[in-house]
Copies of this chain bind each other. A is one copy, B any other.
Amino acid sequence: MTTTPEAATVLSGGLDDSFHVFDTTLRDGAQREGINLTVADKLTIARHLDDFGVGFIEGGWPGANPRDTEFFARARAEIDFKNAQLVAFGATRRAGGSAAEDPQVRALLESGAPVITLVAKSHDRHVELALRTTLDENLEMVRDTVSHLVERGRRVFVDCEHFFDGYRANPEYAKAVVRTAHEAGADVVILCDTNGGMLPAQVTATVATVLADTGARLGIHAQDDTGCAVANTLAAVDAGATHVQCTANGYGERVGNANLFPVVAALEIKYGRKVLPDGALAEMTRISHAIAEVVNLTPSTHQPYVGVSAFAHKAGLHASAIKVDPDLYQHIDPERVGNTMRMLVSDMAGRASIELKGKELGVDLGGDRALISRVVERVKERELQGYTYEAADASFELLLRAEAEGRARKYFRIESWRAIVEDRPDGTHANEATVKLWAKGERIVATAEGNGPVNALDRALRVALERFYPQLAKFELVDYKVRILEGTHGTESTTRVLVSTSDGVRDWSTVGVAPNVIAASWQALEDAFTYGLLRAGVEPAE
């Protein structure tokens, strides 16, 4: 391990600074086609990454767009980071100017981030074609910007963009950029395979040479265009890099970046190098899926370590041998990364996991084998229809209690509901919903308007029930996600809706599935209200 003396400070998470896990999901990951993050999304992801224990979270480019500027302001105010330091990304100053007077550089300082990553050109042709300046001026831009920021108390990392291609074209110039950044006070110089065309053997050789020739502390930033981003990252570590830049689930431009999860798992498990806080690795599967939900992409079932198929075994031939010694058929124990072994011919939700889950939720199944089997059957049946309980604990708990208690908890009984959406000639919309239901022996008909049909239904339900259950006033829908299953049938497909509700203290998630987005939303809403009342300790009374 190569450690420069100035990098020997201890991070808040208790990991020393000699190896950096640097996450750029919020900056480079957001470049993935189809990802479009709100500030709220970015804050949520930052919390997950901090929980996971990465050392650095690159949050965006403050000053480049209002969203990133807002993110830094809110992240500082709202997040109490346990492990990570927040990093602002920006560029070296403009050609011909000075760092002190560059508004983009000023925005980096104003972001308040303690660490700044500066992107610098290190490929001679890019300096000439993209920056349209001289090779010497580019070096001066690096030197001036790095030292300006370092003088103002910031820790500076320098991303050498297109480094590997640049090194092949003009190795002396590429190394001069590294040396300049290092001498100007950059703590780490990151060699970036921006176009992603490298293979591991090339990465190892290049990193080793640059390390020997410059003496700088080096990092690696790999893109997955050859399908080797994880391997390239590890190849750089093999050659002495001590800083790895990755993104959650490998999100990123074109085919993506080096995937944080297999990189970290390889370092911890295969290399035996501690790079995360205690216990963090076992949260990896959960965090990978949670981040996928936030960016609204289906978690990849076949992602190494964390995919639901990652430890799925087709039984048959090997079943008995797996029983004797599962380690013979798995490269690691899936529990180390928070995943589980699955036998594909057997139940998706096995009896043992249902029992464990019941315990976790405080529902005592008392080892009742018949009951557990019924729950397993019910989950299988519902998952076949498109339900998912992994992201809808509250709906699962309602299902579990319904089986354990012999009947479902009911605070109200729906007779019918209706939603109308009308587009008027003047371009405005009317959304109106009517709910007819019974609660505590009374029949109520309530109508409400909303800014959409689901919102109108939500309001009508509140209007109908709040007299009986004043607790409802505190419930707020905090997230609403729609996914279409069976993508080949367009608008005739099955729709799955996940709703998160909060009572100001805790959040719970519910699921609804129907061919109809409104009906699916209604199911999730009904579960959300029921669960909230259950948690509030209200006695059921239709």
Which residues in A have some Cβ–Cβ distance to B below 8 Å? 31-34, 36, 38, 40-41, 44, 65, 123, 125-126, 129-130, 162, 165, 195-197, 199-201, 224-228, 230-232, 234-235, 238, 253-256, 259, 262, 265-266, 270, 294, 296, 298, 301-305, 307, 309-315, 318, 320-321, 324-325, 328-332, 344, 347-348, 388, 390-391, 414-425, 429, 431, 450-455, 458, 476-493, 495, 499-501, 514-519, 521-522
Residues of B within 8 A of A390 (CB): 33-34
A161 to chain B, nearest CB (A): 10
Instruction: Give the distance in Å from the alpha carbon of A293 to the alpha carbon of B40 in the complex.
Output: 37
Instruction: Give the distance in Å from the alpha carbon of A301 to the alpha carbon of B33 in the complex.
Output: 9
Give how many copies assemble into the complex.
2
Residues of B within 8 A of A225 (CB): 304-305, 310, 331
Given A196-B331, A200-B235, A517-B453, answer yes or no on A480-B490 (Cβ-Cβ < 8 Å): yes
Given A231-B199, A302-B256, answer yes or no on A452-B518 (Cβ-Cβ < 8 Å): yes
A406 to chain B, nearest CB (A): 21
Residues of B within 8 A of A126 (CB): 321, 328
Residues of B within 8 A of A479 (CB): 484, 487-488, 490
The contact of A452 among B238, B255, B270, B515, by CB within 8 Å, is B515
| A contact face: mostly helix, strand, loop, or mixed | mixed
Residues of B within 8 A of A227 (CB): 230-231, 259, 262, 266, 304-305
Known A-B contacts: A199-B266, A296-B483, A478-B490. Give 13 more (CB < 8 A).
A33-B314, A33-B391, A41-B487, A44-B487, A65-B347, A226-B266, A254-B313, A452-B491, A453-B517, A454-B517, A477-B490, A480-B487, A482-B517
Residues of B within 8 A of A452 (CB): 491-492, 495, 514-519
Instruction: Give the distance in Å from the alpha carbon of A234 to the alpha carbon of B202 in the complex.
Output: 12
Residues of B within 8 A of A329 (CB): 195
A310 to chain B, nearest CB (A): 5
A63 to chain B, nearest CB (A): 14
The contact of A476 among B125, B303, B311, B490, by CB within 8 Å, is B490
Instruction: Give the distance in Å from the alpha carbon of A212 to the alpha carbon of B235 in the complex.
Output: 24
Given A304-B225, A493-B480, answer yes or no on A519-B423 (Cβ-Cβ < 8 Å): yes
Residues of B within 8 A of A419 (CB): 420-422, 453
